[in-house]
Amino acid sequence: MLISLKALQLELPAVAKPALKDLCEIIASLGFPVDGVEQGLEGPVLDVDITANRGDVMSHRGLARDLAAKLGQDLSPVELDPLEEGEALVSVRLEADACSLYATAVLALGAVQSTPPEVRAFLTSLGSSPKDLAAVDASNELLHRYGQPTHAFDADKLQGGIVVRWAKVGEKVVTLDGVERELGGTDLVIADDSGAIALAGLMGGESTKVTADTRRVLLESAWFEPRVVRAMARRHGLHTDASHRFGRGADPGMARIARDLLAARLKRWAWASVEGAWTEGSGPIPRAAISLTKELLQRVAGEPLPLDDAAVKLRNLGCGVEENQVSLRAVPPTWRHDLAIPEDLAEEVLRLRGYDLIPSSLPPMKSDPEPLSSAYRQRLSLSRRLAALGFHQTVTLGFISPEADARFATTPPEGRTIGNPLGYEYSVLRSSLLPSLVHAAESNLRQGAREVRLFEIAPTFHATPDGPEERSTLGIVWAGETGGQDPLTPQGPAHPAALQGVLAALGSSDAQCEVRSLEGGILVAELCIGSIPAEAERVIPTFQGFSRFPAAERDLSLVVPLDLPFRRLAEAIQRALMGTPLQSLTCVDIYRGKGLPEGRQAWLLRLTFQGDRTFTGVEVDGWVGSALEAARSLKAELRG
C-alpha cells in the first residue's frame, strides 16, 4: 500500500521527527515492512506491506493510529462537522444480514465543482488519477486517508427506494468498468426498483454513475460482511480498493463519519447543500471481551511483564481494558477484527514493545531425541556417493508434458494429471525422472559439454484409485565422451557397462540394473530407492572370518563362441567347482581381433582359490582342469 509521508504527517505530526530511514524501521517493527520509497510530487511515498489480517491499517489514518500507539503520541483530531440525521428521503431496506449498517445522505450539487490542488496531488502521488468530479475524487481521497470506502449514486437516476439484498440468480448488472456481470444468489447487491445497481463493497454500476451532469447525489457509507465481499471479489475477479478494505474488515464506527466527511467535502468543492441524512441498521455485533492472564503473557513473552503496562499498550490501540492482579480483559475497538484470542493480545503487547526486546534463550532439551530416518540417510548417502562418482545432482519440476511422460511411462497419465496446470507442458505428475534428466543432458550437450553425468532423487507418481502413490526414485543419465582429458585416461563414449558398474557400486543387484541406451549415445537408468539395499542399521556389521592363507590365482585363456554369454560359462564352471574353495571367477580380458577362428572370441578368465589352508599345485591344477572340462561342454577351447 502506498503511503504519502506528507499525508501521514497530517494524521500524526510526530512522524516528522525521525529520519525517513528510522521511520521505515519503526513501521517495519510494527509488522509492516517498507518495500521501497519513491520520491513523489509532494515528497516521499512509501510502499508499505500490510499483512492480510490488518484491514484497519490500509489507510493513512490507520497506519498513523498504529504508529501513534507505538510512539505514545496523539493523532490529529478529525475535522468533523456531523450531519444532523433525520427522516429517510428515500427508503433504504437492509434485507441481507451481510449488510448491517448503511449511512446515507442526499445532496444537491452546485453549478460548478473543482477538486482542490492538494487533493489532486495526494491522489496522483498514490497512483490514482483525479477525475475532477467532486463526489468521485472526495470518495477516493477518503478511502486512502481514512480507509472507509464510500460511493455516490446519481440520485436522479435511482428508481424508487434502495434495497441491499442477495442477487437473484441470473440477474445482471453493468459495473463501472463497463463489464456486464451475471449474478448469483451469493452476490450481495445494492438494488433499486430497476434491479441491481451496484455490487456491494466492490464497485458501483453504470446506470447510476455520477457524471459531470449529475445534479443530486445519494451517498453510501456502509459496512459489509468481509467474508461475503472476499467471495464476490474472487468470483468476479474484481479486486478493487474497496473490496480489499471491506474484504479485510472495515471499521463500522467509520460509516457515519466517512459520510459526514464526504458531505463536507462536497459542500466545499461543489457548493453542495444537504437535503437529508439518515442511517439504517446498527452495524455488526460488537466484539467480545478477551481475557489475557499474566501467566500466558509471561509464557509468550519469555519474561514477566507488568499487566498494567500491557493494559496501557492495549488502551493505546483503542481497546477498552479492565485489569486486576492476575489478568486483564480487553474489548477490541471496532476496527480490529483480527483480535480474538488471548495470544492475539499478547502479540499486540509484544508488537508495541518491539520484538527486539524479547529475550532470547534456547528451549530446554526435554523431548526425546530421534535418530534420522534410514530413508533420509539413504538418500543423502546415495547422493554423496553419486557425486563422488562424478555425477551432478539435478532438481527438475515434478510435472511435465504428456508427450515427455509417455516417452518413459509404463502407464497412462490418468489419475496423475493436474486439473489446473500452469500449461499443457506442466500438466502430468511424472511417473519417471528420465524425461527431465534426458532433457537436461541434451541441453548440456547442446551447450558444448563434452561429458554429461547427472542424477536426480525425487518422488515419481503412480496412479492408484485413491490418488497418486509416491515412490522415492533415483534417475541417472550419462552422455557424451568420457576420459581423454589427461595422458592416463583413454577417451571413449560412455559405456553402458560402466553405468552398470556405477549402479553395482551403489549396491543395486544385477537384475535391477537396467541400463538403457538412447539415441545419441545417452545412457539412462532408473531405480526405485526402495530396491537399493539400505546401509546396514549397524555402524559396523557382524564379524565375518576371512582367510589369511595365500590365494591361488590361475588364468585360463579360452577361445569361445561369439554368442556364448559370460554368465552361462561362469555358471557352468561354478557348478563344476561346487565344493572347491573357488573365491571368484572373473573375465579380465576379451580379444576379438585377428588370428581367431571365424565366430570366436578369446577370453582370459581368472580363477581365485582361497581357503583354510595352503593348496598344493596338484590340487589347484585339478580344479582348473574341471573348470576347463565344464568350459569345453559349452564349446569353449583352451587357446593354443
Size of the site for other proteins (CB under 8 A): 105
Q: Binding to other proteins by residue 501, rule CB under 8 A?
A: no
Q: Which stretch binds other proteins (CB under 8 A): 324-332, 415-423, 533-541, 568-576?
A: 415-423
Q: Between residues 79 and 537, which has the closer beta carbon with respect to other proteins?
A: 537
- Which of 77, 178, 364, 545: binder of other proteins (CB under 8 A)? 364
- Which of 207, 444, 473, 508: binder of other proteins (CB under 8 A)? 444
Q: Binding to other proteins by residue 383, rule CB under 8 A?
A: yes
* Inter-residue contact 41 to 127 (CB < 8 Å): no
Q: Binding to other proteins by residue 414, rule CB under 8 A?
A: yes
Q: Between residues 394 and 401, which has the closer beta carbon with respect to other proteins?
A: 394
Q: Which stretch binds other proteins (CB under 8 A): 276-284, 321-329, 408-416, 557-565?
A: 408-416
- Which of 17, 392, 407, 635: binder of other proteins (CB under 8 A)? 392
Q: Binding to other proteins by residue 386, rule CB under 8 A?
A: yes
**Side-chain half-sphere of 477: how many Cα atoms within 13 Å?**
27
- Which of 390, 507, 550, 565: binder of other proteins (CB under 8 A)? 390
3-state SS track over 463-482:
CCCCCCEEEEEEEEEEEEEE
Which residues lie below 8 Å from residue 189, measured CB to CB, with a gap of 6+? 164, 165, 166, 167, 171, 173, 183, 196, 197, 198, 199, 200
Q: How far, in whole angstroms, is CA 76 from its chain's centroid?
A: 41
Q: Supply 216's cell numbers.
A: 443530486
Contacts 24+ apart (CB under 8 A), 386-393: 386/455, 386/476, 386/502, 386/506, 389/502, 389/505, 390/453, 391/453, 391/454, 391/455, 391/476, 391/478, 391/502, 392/453, 392/454, 392/455, 393/454, 393/455, 393/456, 393/457
Q: Between residues 216 and 453, which has the closer beta carbon with respect to other proteins?
A: 453
Distances (CA, A) of 603 to 451, 631, 632: 31, 11, 13
Q: Binding to other proteins by residue 179, rule CB under 8 A?
A: no
Of residues 466-485, those binding other proteins (CB under 8 A): 466-468, 470, 482, 485
Q: Between residues 209 and 236, which has the closer beta carbon with respect to other proteins?
A: 236
Q: Between residues 358 and 497, which has the closer beta carbon with respect to other proteins?
A: 358
* Inter-residue contact 555 to 588 (CB < 8 Å): yes
Distances (CA, A) of 345 to 69, 303, 308, 405, 463: 14, 16, 13, 52, 47
Q: Between residues 211 and 489, which has the closer beta carbon with respect to other proteins?
A: 489
Report the distance separating Cα 406 and Cα 415, nearest Å. 14
Of residues 16-75, those binding other proteins (CB under 8 A): 24-25, 28-31, 33-37, 51-54
CB of 369 to other proteins, least distance (A): 4
Q: Binding to other proteins by residue 380, rule CB under 8 A?
A: yes
Beta bridge mates, 151: 220
Report the distance separating Cα 159 and Cα 190, nearest Å. 12
CB of 304 to other proteins, least distance (A): 12
Of residues 331-350, those binding other proteins (CB under 8 A): 338, 341, 343-344, 346-347, 350
Q: Between residues 94 and 231, which has the closer beta carbon with respect to other proteins?
A: 231
Q: Between residues 446 and 594, which has the closer beta carbon with respect to other proteins?
A: 446
* Inter-residue contact 2 to 126 (CB < 8 Å): yes
Q: Which stretch binds other proteins (CB under 8 A): 316-324, 364-372, 521-529, 599-607?
A: 364-372
- Which of 119, 440, 515, 564: binder of other proteins (CB under 8 A)? 440
Q: Between residues 422 and 590, which has the closer beta carbon with respect to other proteins?
A: 422
- Which of 179, 326, 375, 590: binder of other proteins (CB under 8 A)? 375
Q: Between residues 170 and 448, which has the closer beta carbon with respect to other proteins?
A: 448
Q: Which stretch binds other proteins (CB under 8 A): 127-135, 441-449, 565-573, 611-619?
A: 441-449
Q: Between residues 194 and 393, which has the closer beta carbon with respect to other proteins?
A: 393
Of residues 509-538, those binding other proteins (CB under 8 A): none
Of residues 121-160, those binding other proteins (CB under 8 A): none
Report the distance separating Cα 485 and Cα 266, nearest Å. 83
CB of 495 to other proteins, least distance (A): 14
Q: Binding to other proteins by residue 417, rule CB under 8 A?
A: yes
∠ CA 23-142-276, nearest 5°, is 150
Cα dihedral 70→72→77→83 (10° resolution): 60
Distances (CA, A) of 278 to 90, 210, 275: 10, 21, 11
Q: Binding to other proteins by residue 577, rule CB under 8 A?
A: no
Report the distance separating Cα 266 and Cα 278, nearest Å. 17
Q: Binding to other proteins by residue 626, rule CB under 8 A?
A: no
CB of 235 to other proteins, least distance (A): 10
Q: Supply 423's cell numbers.
A: 500449461
Closest CA to 556 of 618, 484, 621: 621
